[in-house]
Amino acid sequence: MQTSAKTQALHRKWQADAEKFCGKDVRIVISKPAAKKLIYDLLHEKFKPMNITEIYSKLKAVVPSPVLKNCLNDMTFDETVGYNSENESGGENHAVQKKKECFDAYTTTLKLKVGKNSSTSLYYVDQIKLPNMGNGLLPEDRNDLFETLQKSNVLKEQILC
């Protein structure tokens, strides 16, 4: 299947932007599932809110900006995306919940703090979606870790004595 000249030019532009950050032989990610994983991993690892420009630069332009914006929209849930201009009960505006067209592992995993414009809006990981609701290790895993640490300390003491 042949792609149009316009699509090929757009792809070359995205590739050139990524090469500015990473050098030659970098591959851009236009697959939404792969891009969502990169975005989520970045925000989870950095553990701080980031705007779309920061996310784009930290990903080194590997995810093109239109793909990044679409993925961020899919990954966040904002209850006040649109408003109905007319209502049966007097014409008041009411919030309309955003419809999710695709549900995957990363749907609604990010929170959005809306700014004055899209570049000042902040995205961050929804801690409730993390294992153990973001409270670190599960108790069983934490106990196993402490047990292993104690065993290694005892073994170290035996070796040094």
Q: How far apart are CA 25 and CA 113, in angstroms?
A: 36
6-15 tens-digit pLDDT: 888 888 888 8
3-state helix, strand, coil in the chain (%, to 5): 50, 10, 40
- Give the pLDDT mean for 87-107: 49
- What pLDDT sits at residue 102? 54
What 8-state DSSP symbol labels residue 2? P
**Of 80 and 36, which is predicted with more confidence?**
36
Taking 50 as the threshold, does the pLDDT of residue 110 lie above it? yes
pTM for this predicted structure: 0.64
Handedness of CA 55, 58, 61, 67 (dihedral sign): negative
pLDDT bracket for residue 55 (50, 70, 90):
very high
Angle, to 10 degrees, between the axis of helix 65-75 and the axis of helix 32-46?
Answer: 70
**Tokens (6 digits) for 3:** 């792609």
DSSP letters, 51-78, are -HHHHHHHTTTSS-HHHHHHHHHHHB--
